[in-house]
Amino acid sequence: MPEVVAIDYGHSGIVGGQYVTAGKQYRFTDSNPTLWVGEGLINRAIAAKVFAKLIRRGVRVFDCVALREWTRPPSELELEQRDTALSDRVAYANELWTAYRAPFVSIHSNAIGSKASGPSLPARGASVFTSPGSTRSDRLAARFYDALRTVPGQPLQVRKGDWSDGDEDHEARFYVLTKTKGTAVLCEFGFFTNRQDAEILLSQPGQDAIARVYARALTE
């Protein structure tokens, strides 16, 4: 298992007192009281828990958004709130791969469409993405799928796999997957446009269970 890990968390948080990531938020119009989700906030809440779990297990953890190492567990508010350029994140991840063979893991949740409000939409569940074809990243993706199925209390459904290259992970030409030199996966855990998944993503027990998936996949 890796002694060093590079963690990325997608989209902005709170900048200048406002959530500024257009299209990465959702307000449920069929919820009473109204339920609102900002993906960047969820990503940071889960990332902070992942950092804490990995650090406590003796793993060196580097933050590809803040471009720094954390030697103590940070709070979600201490994490970088601005959306660092993808090119800068990838350059940092590549430095870490060259120096430490640190795998790169990007934390996200999913959505249908780009509307900022509407009713609960049907798609649910968790998927893991790698770059197209058979690569070293497939092995790490398989560990994430195993963790999704074996972590006690993990509440998210596991979405049907791609299998286009003979394994379960989904293939995508995301910038952070095709431009990184080493092992790289992007996790889309839960749909923030589905009310059931959104409630999981917003809850402390749900976030902790998801963070345990990351920790198990990377260390066990």
Taking residues 27-45, report their average pLDDT.
Answer: 95
- pLDDT of 56: 97
Report the alpha-carbon distance of residue 50 to residue 212 in Å, rounded.
Answer: 7
Is a pLDDT exceeding 90 seen at residue 98? yes
**pLDDT value at 1 more than 80:** no
User: Which domains does the chain carry?
Assistant: 4-131+146-164+183-219 (3.40.630.40)
Residue 165, pLDDT above cutoff 90: no
Query: Mean pLDDT across the stretch 174-201?
Result: 98
Residue type, position 43, single letter: N
Statement: residue 116 has pLDDT above 90 = yes
Q: Say yes or no to pLDDT of 90 above 90.
A: yes
Mean pLDDT of the chain: 96
pTM above 0.85, yes or no: yes
Amino acid letter for position 7 = I
Cβ-proximal residues to 106 (8 Å cutoff; 6+ apart), any chain: 8, 9, 10, 64, 174, 176, 184, 185, 186, 187
Q: CA 175, CA 68: separation in Å to the nearest integer?
A: 21
The answer to whether 48 touches 55, Cβ cutoff 8 Å, is no
